[in-house]
Amino acid sequence: MTKSIILGAAILGLATTAPVLSQQAGPTPGEALNLLVGEWSGTGWALDREGQEQTFDVFETVRVAAGGHAVYMIGEGFSPTGAGRNGRSTHAAAGLVTASEQGLSMRAVTHEGQMQDVPLVLNETGFTWQIDLGPGGHIAYSATVTADRWEETGAFCPPAGECRQFLFMQLQPIAD
């Protein structure tokens, strides 16, 4: 698995607050994830292959589609921090969230065309998800969103030992 699918999946993170994300919030992703809908921007950092922290500007677009039965997201990152969308592209990814009897799931797609379906687990402050790396462990993500802040972390979790954080993002909604 490449770094870009890991980071791409992280950028496609979702979350919301308890009143919106309770299991009784409604049957559609559009109802469950309505606090995310709109434009977001912020900054973040990720560890590169050498373990060095690399900062970036991040932009997220979240829209409801298909009468609320789907939510799509587009995430883009640019470096250096402060350059906005005029910087060098560090990542680009898209996601489509749908619901089934098993709950919410997201199909994440990176700019390299890699795809992975991941279940999303709702909680009181947002939700979590994991990417299975087989015998290599897994990547664990956690996202929390309020009306004015979206924070997300990512950590690599080896089969034995403690998880190690490699990603942090903080975004704010862009005013209309």
C-alpha span between 83 and 108 (Å, rounded): 26
Q: What pTM was computed for the model?
A: 0.79
In Å, how far are 31, 47, 56, 88, 96 from 127, measured between CA atoms? Answer: 15, 23, 23, 30, 16
DSSP H or E stretch at residue 98:
strand 88-100
Q: Which residues pair with 128 in a beta bridge?
A: 121, 142
pLDDT given for residue 113 in this prediction: 83
C-alpha span between 78 and 90 (Å, rounded): 5
Q: Which residues contact 93 (CB under 8 A, 6 or more apart)?
A: 7, 8, 9, 11, 12, 74, 75, 108, 109, 110, 111
* Residue 140: HSE in the Cβ half-sphere, 13 Å Cα cutoff: 10
Q: Closest Cα to residue 40, out of 16, 20, 23?
A: 16
Contact assessment for residue 26 and residue 16, using Cβ atoms and an 8 Å cutoff: no
One pLDDT digit (tens) per residue for the chain, 176 residues? 444 444 444 444 433 333 344 333 445 888 888 888 999 999 999 998 899 999 999 999 999 999 999 999 999 999 988 889 999 998 888 989 998 878 899 998 878 888 889 998 878 888 888 888 899 999 998 999 899 999 999 999 999 989 999 999 999 999 76
Per DSSP, helices labelled H in 48-140 are none
Q: Which residues contact 86 (CB under 8 A, 6 or more apart)?
A: 78
Residue 3, exposed/middle/buried by CB under 10 A (0-12, 13-18, 19+)? middle
Peptide bond into 159 cis (omega under 30): no
**105 phi, psi to nearest 5 deg:** -140, 155
Contact assessment for residue 8 and residue 166, using Cβ atoms and an 8 Å cutoff: no
